[in-house]
Amino acid sequence: MTTTDPMPTLTETLTRLRAAQKGHARGAPAYSVYVNRRIGRVLAAIGYRLGLTPNQVTMVSAAHTFAGIVLLATMPPSWWSGIVVAALLVLGYAWDSADGQVARLRGGGSVAGEWLDHFVDAIKIATLHLAVLIGLFRFGDLDEPVLLLPIGYSIVATVTFFGMILNDLLKGARGVASTHARGGGTLGRSLLLVPTDFGLLCLVFLLWGAPPAFLTVYAALFAANTLFLCAASVKWFREMRRVG
């Protein structure tokens, strides 16, 4: 589109995005594929019509996400604070999906933009569970072993993210297809991996005002993510041996 071309309507922009949509990564969990991407598509169309760059969209995502994380650490758990935190995290995740879609509408992204996107993701993953820890410590009358849950979850989430990024980096350096190469995947696989979906974790904070219910679901997700990391690490190591 040139500077003299009229701005496409929201409907036209959404149609362009659907046509240019890449296949989802193999192993992408269901919420990310069937819910978050679609919300992100609408936000991308809105951001594009507002003239936002992909990097600006990334920063909008960061603003929503980190506002939710700060609330977790500073506000006493309640139903209303849980709803606000969940809404902010869900919107932050959706805007995170939108930045790449805006880049495609504008003709392609940049290495700097990809770096910024991953850098913000790394901060989010490293701080979210620590905010849960702070919130539980400050406002919850809990036994000390319970506080080990967010510490363990933070370790698992950080190591998983690093492992995925490292896999793609090492494979890309050797001309091998990414572990998460796009090209679709089965619905069954996507549903099976729902417990590892960051979007599902965002929704769990709707229970923030009911600590026993929150901790039960949170612990279940932690266990599922730990099992996933254990299984994935074996698979990734075998892939690296083949690459080597």
* pLDDT (mean) for 62-66: 98
pLDDT 10s digits, 134-168: 999 999 888 889 999 999 999 999 999 999 999 98
pLDDT above 90 covers a percentage of the chain that reads 61
Specify the CATH number for 10-15+22-243; select among 1.20.140.10, 3.40.190.10, 1.20.120.1760, 3.40.50.20.
Answer: 1.20.120.1760
pLDDT at 244 (0 to 100)? 72
pLDDT at 13 (0 to 100)? 72
pLDDT at 143 (0 to 100)? 86
pLDDT at 4 (0 to 100)? 47
How far apart, in Å, are the Cα atoms of 149 and each of 23, 139, 161, 218, 221? Answer: 35, 16, 18, 8, 10
**Joined tokens for residue 153:** 């979850």
User: Rounded distance, CA 191 to CA 54, Å?
Assistant: 29
| Residue 170, CB-side half-sphere exposure with 13 Å CA sphere | 15
pLDDT at 19 (0 to 100)? 64
